[in-house]
Amino acid sequence: MTLDPVLARIDADLPDAVERLKHLLRIPSISTDPAYKDHCQAAADWLVADLQSIGFEATKRETPGHPMVMAHNGGDGTHVLFYGHYDVQPVDPLELWDNDPFDPQVEDTPKGKVIRGRGTADDKGQLMTFVEACRAWKAVHGRLPANISMFFEGEEESGSPSLIPFMKENSAELKADIALISDTSLYDDNTPSILTQLRGLLGEELTITGPSRDLHSGSYGGIAMNPARVLAKIIASLHDNEGRVTVPGFYDGVPELSNEMAAAWDDLKFDHKAFLGEVGLSEPAGEIGRRPLEMIWSRPTCEVNGMSSGYTGDGFKTVLPAIATAKISFRLVGTQDPHTIRENFRKMVTDMIPADCAVSWKDHGASPASQMTTTHPAFEQARQALSDEWPNAAAFIGAGGSIPIAGYFKEILDMDTMLIGFGKDDDGLHSPNEKFDLSSFHKGMRSWARILNAMTS
């Protein structure tokens, strides 16, 4: 089967593809809010019907939460499993949106046309790039170039509580030669990327309690222990003067960057001053002596995500607070064990709690890092296919974020995963006025068509 007619079909069908995407975007499939449960069902139903219209055997699978969508075409050759999620983040604060977040519009911007609306980049627009590539192959050749399965989730934005049980119960159906995910970004506007490593994530919330109530600082200041003071000491102790995390055993399983990967990343000529300048900063604040890209792609972190204690309203209130809380996240790499780090972190904190205070805990998930081996031939095939579509050659890169599904594919199904996405840094994921560049949508479809062709030639 030849590729050029497929690419031409994608080009010609772009207006209709945009309209189909708009239909999906109009469904407010917010997974975190029970009020939108029926809308999540409707989004799954829409995808099932759309996939059936291009010849897939597609079904909606109920879970204790929102449904999964499974689809198979039963073709020959390389078996690929494509994953995406149809649920979206809440839209709050609504007043910061320029238009209705579920009334998607194509807009002109100084950088070109964009599709504006909740879920455009995360992940409905990216999900549909693959579906549209399959649609074009089917329209031109009457069949797909590979044995393709699709797996769409409806709880990714709410912690994926049904995902692991579903994967274990349906492992035989989900198993393929390789998994594909489109929920990531380009390296820059003209450089596509394939993610080869993702950091894991550990979330901890600690609450320190002291006196039985808030105290008057004139009557009790100096003699009573202040939980806010205890919390401040704990937070200040989490890093040394070199920027290293001080939790015992924290760096167990952290690999050094290989010379080959370091050279490849250096070739990307990452401008950390421009990167930080966009948010009003200028200097890297991680471990001294590390490359800026190492700090965000291949080094572990400990960050304070929030603190609360005492009176924080207008004016002034002279109290010693009875409670102080903090939310701490750890980004993990290599073979760091999130459960061991949790245990060590909690012991470190507990050992710092004075006699008149106590600490309680709430965990917010624990997932290890994901490392993809690029020895599978599909990685080089996809890299070359992407390079043929975009102005610059595709790069193997890391990412600072966490996409647990990539690790689950390896852990549960023993499958390698390629993460190839077409988002941009200014897409505003999870924020008001989220957008997806029309060029990303268009070239994303063409990219997947090329990748499928390369993997099956």
Rounded CA gap, 370 and 167, in Å? Answer: 17
What is the pLDDT, as a whole number, of residue 221? 96
Sequence length of the chain is: 457
Rounded CA gap, 299 and 240, in Å? Answer: 16
What is the pLDDT, as a whole number, of residue 45? 98
Residue 149 near residue 72 (C-beta atoms within 8 A):
yes
Q: β-strand 68-72 against 147-153: which pairing, if any?
A: antiparallel
DSSP state letter for 92:
-
Helix (H, G, I), strand (E, B) or coil at 266: helix
Mean pLDDT by 10 residues, the chain (457 residues): 95 98 98 97 98 98 98 91 98 96 97 97 98 98 96 95 97 97 95 92 97 97 97 98 98 94 92 93 95 95 97 95 98 95 98 98 91 88 97 92 86 94 94 97 98 91
Among 395, 379, 373, 388, which Cα is nearest to 455's? 379
Amino acid at 449: A
What is the pLDDT, as a whole number, of residue 365? 86
Rounded CA gap, 300 and 92, in Å? Answer: 31
What is the pLDDT, as a whole number, of residue 359? 98
pTM of structure: 0.84
What is the pLDDT, as a whole number, of residue 399? 84
Residue 280 near residue 181 (C-beta atoms within 8 A):
no
Q: Which two tokens stand for residue 253?
A: 């399983």
Q: Which residues of 176-198 are buried (b: 16+ CB within 10 A; e: fewer)?
A: bbbbbbbbbbbbebebbbbbbbb
All residues at 6 or more sequence positions from 152 whose CB lies less than 8 Å from its CB, including other chains:
44, 47, 68, 69, 83, 84, 85, 86, 127
Residue 281 near residue 290 (C-beta atoms within 8 A):
no
Residue 182 near residue 127 (C-beta atoms within 8 A):
yes
Rounded CA gap, 178 and 79, in Å? Answer: 7
For the chain, list the domains and their CATH numbers: 4-198+370-456 (3.40.630.10), 200-254+300-367 (3.30.70.360)
Helix (H, G, I), strand (E, B) or coil at 360: strand
Q: β-strand 79-85 against 147-153: which pairing, if any?
A: parallel
Please give the span between the terminal C-alpha atoms of the chain, in angstroms, as a whole number: 9
Q: Which two tokens stand for residue 58?
A: 């597609």
What is the pLDDT, as a whole number, of residue 224? 97
